[in-house]
Structure 1
Amino acid sequence: MRTTITIDKDIIDDLIRETHVKSKASAVKIAIESYLKKKKIEKIQSLKGKLEFDMTADEIRHYER
């Protein structure tokens, strides 16, 4: 999908340097994917202590689906 956005040149330059890619599109894609992954992890971490789970780690490892 093609989208036009305006991003400060310094930010794009830093992003390209940090991601070690050559294209702006690739750098932005990596940044978006990284951000979304971070948010998903934060969402899962926010559930800590809020869910009841009665299986041990050993039971999970040997669980038959």
Structure 2
Amino acid sequence: MQRATVTLPQDLLTELVELVGARSKTEAVLTAVKDEIRQRKLARIKAMAGKMEFTTTADDLRHGDRRLG
């Protein structure tokens, strides 16, 4: 893990700790960063809706693996 020094307003950090129910400031910041990353990845996936074409049916994906016999 890498250390980083970040200057944040005390009231903002206090609110974050309370909001996420963290036991420490570090835990609160980690939770917030992970959540932001997750939300941005989800937004990218949602933006792809309707832009991909699948030629295989769901049934083929479920039962079409010839390696299983």
- What range describes the TM-score normalised by the shorter chain of this pair? 0.7 to 0.9
- Tell which deviates more after alignment, 14-23 or 53-62: 53-62
Higher relative contact order (CA 8 A, sep 6+): 1
Q: Distance in 1 between matches of 2:63 and 2:13?
A: 47
Aligned residues: 65
**Structure 1: gaps of 5 or more residues:** none
CA RMSD of aligned residues (A): 1.7
**Which stretches of structure 1, 4 residues or longer, exceed 6 Å deviation after superposition?**
none
Cα displacement (A) at 1:8 = 1.0
**TM-score with structure 2 length normalisation?**
0.80
Larger radius of gyration: 2
- The residue aligned with 1:31 is 32
- The within-5 A match list for 1:6-45 is 6-45=7-46
**Structure 2: gaps of 5 or more residues:** none
User: C-alpha offsets along residues 18-49 of structure 1, whole Å, 9 cap, x if unaligned?
Assistant: 11112111100000000000000000000011
**TM-score with structure 1 length normalisation?**
0.84
- Tell which deviates more after alignment, 33-42 or 52-61: 52-61
Cα displacement (A) at 1:63 = 5.1
Identity of aligned residues (%): 34
